[in-house]
Structure 1
Amino acid sequence: MHETNKSLKEKIAWYRRYHPVSSIILASVIVMGIIGLILSVIMNDIRIFQICYLAYPLLVFWLPMVPIAIKTHKRYYVIGAILPFILGAIIIVVDFICEFVNIDIIGLFISITKEMVGRNPVILALLIIGIVFGLFGLFAYFGLKTQRYTTWFLGGCVVGKIADDIHSTQDGYTERPHTYKMKHGSDIDLSHIDEFCKLLAKNFIIINWRCEEESVKMWITARRDMLTYLDVFYCGNLGSWIRMGKNGKITVFVSREDYKNIYREVTYHTLCRNIAEKFEQSFIEFANGNKENSIKILRGDGK
């Protein structure tokens, strides 16, 4: 199932295709960080270093995470996404006060950092990259800590859990959405589906959703790679998705990359049909006011 023996060029092309947003962010953070560090060393101007050290990673790396956190309506994700900006603002205010009283506290911190790692731009670049990814790692860690079902999350979420119960392997993957007609639904109010999506997003079952004219399209959380969420959230043609229509039809599509992350190959149309059935059961429970059961069904703990 997993493609191997790819050249470095092919791997880079693959990553850019399936990670268009995160690849640009990662490349820009690394390149601008290195340039800023080199300029700060050459020009002996720590202000250039400060801008790259504080402002740039926040703007290009953390800022895209804020809309995702806010749309989930999950308190811990919102706090985790906004906290670096609050800390950055505090540092700027403190630096302004220290500048006013002629104390360069950030410059002192940078000087100590340079003394610790030397004036080698490469080492300084690695340091800033380590700090940025360290903060991101903390965000991911505390995000996972808020999940009641970490094993479910690490196992591929809805797609992985449902695939575990499928034993048919006669047909492999196909890039064709599967349409399923709900047994107990027709002429559904789109506002009810929208409220259903809010509940799913709050429990991190879906990453994003969009209301269309006759349906609501939602993107499923299917992988534990936090960078993937950036790409799926901002690029509507990526990731696995479900479209639930007001006419009672559910269309399911599992992306090739999410399918490859399943631990074993299963029949694609069976996987899509089972996902649709689970979402139908979950929506019925939600419509009946049983929000807890609605989530349990998609977690694999319900009926």
Structure 2
Amino acid sequence: MKKIAVLTSGGDSPGMNAAVRAVVRKAIYEGVEVIGVNRGYAGLIEGDFITLGASAVSDIINRGGTFLRSARCEEFRTKEGRQKAADQLRKEGAEGLVVIGGDGSFTGAMLLTNETGIKTIGVPGTIDNDIACTDDSIGYDTAMNTIIDAITKIRDTASSHERAFVIEAMGRHAGFLTLAAGLAGGAESILVPEIKFNIDEVCDKVQKGYEKGKIHSIILVAEGVEFEGNEFETNRDVNESNAFTIGRIINERTGFDTRVSILGHIQRGGSPTGRDRLLASRLGAAAVDAMLAGETNKMVGLIHNKIEVSDIKDAIEGKKEFDKDLYELANILSI
């Protein structure tokens, strides 16, 4: 193998640049040329390539986002689009492709291999940390620390004004990020998609905390939370997000002054933590090792601090187990 390509796809996550850097420098060390693909699968179809030497990835290990950029590409969802992408790679002389992204990006990589024979290796990069076959994904630790920092700052004003704050975190239908940040940030209530919650219990916890002398309450909510029973649909205003519905109900039922903060895309940005830089460096280099060893349709991950190579299909279709013991610990410590 003399030349490989690398792209970042899907939502950006802090540490993607560090992963690209590791892919490039490890490949060069092994005598392999690297081309970068701009704008993910859209750039792959268009042949939007750049040559990446060692100096091209200098001073990016500390940068958030992805300098290769990312974009949605409906054409790549078609078999014809994937064939165009394969033709562009072969025209450029690339014999393999490293894909840094989440489950949607991995699905595209798997289809590309199955249909065209292009060798692919996946590197997990998503703040949601919902990809199977790895303990952590690139960007998760940085996003968690961003949320913790937000909780700390919001708690200051919550205490000053004796308020309850409902804070919405990212995570789609996965609560890994919310649970970790909520436990480490000391949230009084943590609401995640994996466990349906009862709004009366949340209100009761706020009320009891006030009666015990607490002058604030932090309720951390994942995007995809679900109410227990039909309580949610009964009380929801169609123009409200879940977090605003929860905040309104808490205010109505407890009388506690309640505010809502949607953290949004601030969670995806920022300089990656040392832990994310280390993870990205290890996985990027491991992806090159796997490709040079003849692997394809695989994903590299970190399990119990060891690099593991798994079938990319298992990473896509596997369900990461939610840590209910950690969730229970968070409830215990929030009394």
Note whether the superposition's TM-score is higher than 0.5: no
Considering fraction of residues, name the structure with more helix: 1
TM-score normalised by length of structure 2: 0.21
TM-score normalised by length of structure 1: 0.23
More contact order relative to length (CA 8 Å, sep ≥ 6) = 2
**Structure of larger gyration radius:** 1
Considering fraction of residues, name the structure with more strand: 2
